[in-house]
Structure 1
């Protein structure tokens, strides 16, 4: 049986919505459900420091209104740091996915063993998904302790208030052929504000209200990649064993995404068009070079010698273009640039110099093409 057929089934479920919409409450209920999958709930604001998250969120939303320049400068560093941590977390998710699919150890990316990584690892250890026992803790590696046959669904708890934030996770799921779904919790902003006030670490009320105006909800009609989405009214308590959620997750796990496949027929057609264009440009450049060469020979050779030289140059041109066509087919196509055009003409001149050299009073090495600097001339057509 092939390796692809035996690998573990993995999926990603995004929980998105306003702060206070009930995402974390729903996330905590996944571990207590009767679903057949094993869940790993990853709460972003427990892994990315709350201070960085709140300052960055406020800065993102304040772009829609005028704020004092001094305040903007103070927030720039925190915003950049927050975005960097989000990218780190996305990298860590990818490493977790690889470990789950291959039933291998979880390892951090090279040189990325920072605070975000340790909080990410702690989150997984608390849920009994990984263990440092028997692993090389000095290298930051951890053993995945989930049975190989268990399906795993990664539940990502974050606001995901911009479509782009969700799309980058979707791309990760497609890269590894994972199941993918989204649950958007819709809750009246007044309820979100009230719930937020009861939190140990709350978000400014005006930030939530601004976010309510700017949040980009899943739009399956516009975005085909958001088809597997569910919008739920979370003004009342919702748990993971809700039949709508069970159906959504099961459907996502049973229908993993397919990596983007190249259309080979279209690709081959484009290659042929590009090759024809390169050959055409090369032909025109060499024609101009031959014309210039014959003008230089005129006056130093007889009419018969001129005719013989012209015939030999034309024959050499035909052979040169045929060789170029074969190289394009064998080694792939690169866009035709001024440097490549000059390189092609220079190579042609080297191969045909013996034809016209006897007729030239002085040795010259230039033609009508601009003499650009091409250090590796052979690379132009190889």
Structure 2
């Protein structure tokens, strides 16, 4: 900790601003507006675009949905995200080192980020065009982290980095209705599959200002265009975060929050695996009852939709459980079993309905 504090001596103030929301919710538009307004505030600002920094193959593997490959996919995707934060951390330590992409003992060479894209990110900080060069070195730094950040655990990693180096931290959640997101996405030159957006809607958990680490969060309704008031709110949020950096001192409340996130993630992962086995069993039972192929497809869709909703609600419930905030030991296996029993009941009802419809 002492070395980290020493590394921050004399460093310009900095803020990590997380932009989260569905694809095509308006994050890129907000980024352009904030970047153009930043010099007027005396800030050196850059965007950290996860889509550009993380290689294409990592996004492609996210579509894999079966067995062990799913776990490998989640692990690799998480390592790529961590590599982005490692680059930010190294820049904070050694800003004069241009685009030195750090390697990690926990990540393989396949989890390296796009060096050219990272160079572009930090060049905007090292060579700000709209600031007086004599004062640029001490001008506050603003990192706009542009990604979907649909799980709290993804955003919490950014918060931990901000706390480690006494940086400002804030979040902007861009809320846009689903139809508008899909329509905007389809008008792009390289749209992402609509199925990805539909799946993300089920998983997305908006920032909750009631969480101790998410107090500096605002929601913007971006179904319509951003207003001047919206932009002003964002600029004031960032300014407040810069003026009130996080303390690197460990806080018991925040440790409990981290433990709660870790526990919830473990339970949901194990429940997901158990639900997949139940779905597989249901499909075998349906085939044994000679259910027609079109009904089989309907069964698979209903079961997977039910699983996604079930896991989303389970995660939300776990994060709200008071027992997870009181330092008690949690019997994960027991919690998983009780939760999966609920899904098993739903599975049986869906299966019975499909079989009866076939008769």
TM-score (norm 2): 0.58
Would the aligned equivalents of 2:101 and 2:113 in 1 still touch at CA under 8 Å?
Answer: no
Question: SS of the residue aligned with 2:41?
Answer: coil
CA separation in 1, counterparts of 2:79 and 2:134? 29
Q: 1:82 aligns with which of 64, 71, 77?
A: 77
Q: How does 1:160-199 map to 2 (within 5 A)?
A: 160-199=149-188
CA separation in 2, counterparts of 1:243 and 1:87? 31
1:177–1:210: structure 2 CA closer, same or farther, 3 Å change rule? Answer: same
Match of 1:233 in 2: 221
Match of 2:41 in 1: 35
Match of 2:27 in 1: 23
Match of 1:91 in 2: 86
Deviating more after overlay: 166-175 vs 2-11: 2-11
Task: Give a deviation string over 1:272-323, Cα, whole Å, max 9, x none.
Answer: xxxxxxxxxxxxxxxxxxxxxxxxxxxxxxxxxxxxxxxxxxxxxxxxxxxx
Match of 1:8 in 2: 12
Would the aligned equivalents of 1:130 and 1:145 in 2 still touch at CA under 8 Å?
Answer: no
More helix by share: 2
Q: 2:118 aligns with which of 118, 121, 142?
A: 121
1:170–1:262: structure 2 CA closer, same or farther, 3 Å change rule? Answer: closer
* Deviation of 1:147 (Å): 2.3
* Deviation of 1:27 (Å): 1.1
Question: SS of the residue aligned with 1:242?
Answer: helix
When Rg is computed on C-alpha atoms for both structures, the one with the higher figure is 1
* Deviation of 1:88 (Å): 1.3
1:237–1:5: structure 2 CA closer, same or farther, 3 Å change rule? Answer: same
CA separation in 1, counterparts of 2:7 and 2:197? 47
Deviating more after overlay: 25-34 vs 4-13: 4-13
Would the aligned equivalents of 1:182 and 1:229 in 2 still touch at CA under 8 Å?
Answer: yes
Aligned residue pairs, count? 235
Would the aligned equivalents of 2:152 and 2:207 in 1 still touch at CA under 8 Å?
Answer: yes
Would the aligned equivalents of 1:24 and 1:43 in 2 still touch at CA under 8 Å?
Answer: no
Would the aligned equivalents of 1:184 and 1:232 in 2 still touch at CA under 8 Å?
Answer: yes
Task: Give a deviation string over 1:43-88, Cα, whole Å, max 9, x none.
Answer: 10011124422541x45xx6xxxxxx4xx56666554433322121
Deviating more after overlay: 187-196 vs 235-244: 235-244
Match of 1:45 in 2: 51
Q: Within the alignment, does 1:242 sit opposite 2:238 as a pair? A: no
Unaligned runs of 5+ in 2: 1-5, 128-132, 253-359
Unaligned runs of 5+ in 1: 63-68, 132-143, 264-382
Match of 2:145 in 1: 156
Question: SS of the residue aligned with 1:231?
Answer: strand
Would the aligned equivalents of 1:89 and 1:116 in 2 still touch at CA under 8 Å?
Answer: yes
Question: SS of the residue aligned with 2:137?
Answer: coil
Would the aligned equivalents of 1:29 and 1:239 in 2 still touch at CA under 8 Å?
Answer: no
Q: Within the alignment, does 1:107 sit opposite 2:95 as a pair? A: no
Would the aligned equivalents of 1:47 and 1:120 in 2 still touch at CA under 8 Å?
Answer: yes
Q: Within the alignment, does 1:224 sit opposite 2:212 as a pair? A: yes
TM-score (norm 1): 0.55
Task: Give a deviation string over 1:15-65, Cα, whole Å, max 9, x none.
Answer: 000011011121122221133311111110011124422541x45xx6xxx
CA separation in 1, counterparts of 2:7 and 2:125? 23
Q: How does 1:67-78 map to 2 (within 5 A)?
A: 69=66, 78=73
1:232–1:152: structure 2 CA closer, same or farther, 3 Å change rule? Answer: same
CA separation in 2, counterparts of 1:4 and 1:252? 17
